[in-house]
């Protein structure tokens, strides 16, 4: 069963006194179980801060955060059962691909036979079976990204969070990996929030798009609705349609 994500009135203030900066200004977003939501907006608008709050890497200054109906504020990142994929896919360099994928399961003391089976399943899904014995240094950029996704997927998380995972890749690979991420979501059905500042990625990847600017949610809707009925001139300009 996929998990829902409920974000209500989330604020984040960095700094104190006259140096205080409000980076998130009462964000409300509901993500349905199994949905693929895109969070888009210019650099510095607060996208990563919001993802970090969901993941538990930052605490919000105010607001409510429920995963599968359960309050997770104050809960440690490891207990939130979330997998996060960044642009810098930090694989363990001395471990094989198989061990990289299985590491989180090993930490959880999952029995070796169960672990092996899961690594195999994930490798088939990502078409990296032939790479399982290699080390990260023996892989291409795209293959490393696949392994990073495999590692995230192996844990069967409640939520997938992607923070601009493709921004380090060249154009051709980016197109390929977009399709891969779409397929991964399709087969896993895991609720996903995907951050990007790339309009094409935003318009093609998700079922709904949340457009953010200066810590304020401008609009949240399907790509089609956002294109046809942008809420304001900012959204219109960002998506590239006339007002």
Q: Characterize the bridge pairing of strands 216-221 and 208-213.
A: antiparallel
219's contact among ligand ADP, Mg ion, none, with CB below 5 to 8 A by partner kind, is none
The CB-of-10 to Mg ion minimum distance in angstroms stands at 16
Residue 182 has which token pair?
């779409």
145's contact among ligand ADP, Mg ion, none, with CB below 5 to 8 A by partner kind, is none
- Give the C-alpha separation, 152 to 86, whole Å: 11
If the CB atoms of residues 198 and 225 are measured against Mg ion, the closer one turns out to be 198
44's contact among Mg ion, ligand ADP, none, with CB below 5 to 8 A by partner kind, is ligand ADP
Residue 228 has which token pair?
């046809």
If the CB atoms of residues 44 and 141 are measured against ligand ADP, the closer one turns out to be 44
Phi/psi class of residue 127: alpha, beta or left (left: φ > 0; alpha: ψ in -120 to 50)?
left
Using CB under 5 A, which of 48, 143, 145, 219 touches Mg ion?
48
If the CB atoms of residues 135 and 197 are measured against Mg ion, the closer one turns out to be 197
- DSSP for 157-208 reads -SEEEEESTTTTS-HHHHHHHHHHHHHHHHHH--EEEEEES-HHHHHHH-SE
Interface of this chain with ligand ADP, residues 40 to 69, rule: CB under 6 A: 41, 43-49
Q: Quick one: which of 8, 12, 56, 50 has its CA closest to 157?
A: 56
- Give the C-alpha separation, 210 to 208, whole Å: 7
If the CB atoms of residues 14 and 92 are measured against ligand ADP, the closer one turns out to be 14
Interface of this chain with ligand ADP, residues 8 to 27, rule: CB under 6 A: 14, 23
- Contacts with ligand ADP by CB under 6 A lie at 14, 23, 41, 43-49
- Contacts with Mg ion by CB under 5 A lie at 48
């Amino acid at each position: 069963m996929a998990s829902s994500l409920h974000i209500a009135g989330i604020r984040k203030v960095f700094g104190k006194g006259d140096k205080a900066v409000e980076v998130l200004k009462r964000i409300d977003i509901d993500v349905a179980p199994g949905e693929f939501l895109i969070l888009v907006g210019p650099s510095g608008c607060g996208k990563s801060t919001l993802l970090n709050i969901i993941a538990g890497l930052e605490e919000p200054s105010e607001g409510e955060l429920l995963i599968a109906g359960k309050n997770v504020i104050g809960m440690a990142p490891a207990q939130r059962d979330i997998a996060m994929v960044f642009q810098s896919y930090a694989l363990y360099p001395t471990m094989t691909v198989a061990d990289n994928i299985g590491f989180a399961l090993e930490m959880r003391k999952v029995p070796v036979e169960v672990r092996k089976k899961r690594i195999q399943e994930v490798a088939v899904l990502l078409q990296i079976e032939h790479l399982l014995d290699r080390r990260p240094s023996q892989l291409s950029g795209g293959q490393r990204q696949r392994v990073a996704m495999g590692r995230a997927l192996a844990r069967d998380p409640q939520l997938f969070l992607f923070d601009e995972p493709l921004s380090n890749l060249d154009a051709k690979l980016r197109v390929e990996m977009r399709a891969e991420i779409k397929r991964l979501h399709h087969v896993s059905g895991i609720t996903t929030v995907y951050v990007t500042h790339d309009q094409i990625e935003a318009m093609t990847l998700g079922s709904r798009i949340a457009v953010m600017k200066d810590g304020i949610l401008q609009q949240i809707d399907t790509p089609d609705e956002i294109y046809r009925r942008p809420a304001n001139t900012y959204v219109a300009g960002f998506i590239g349609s006339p007002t």
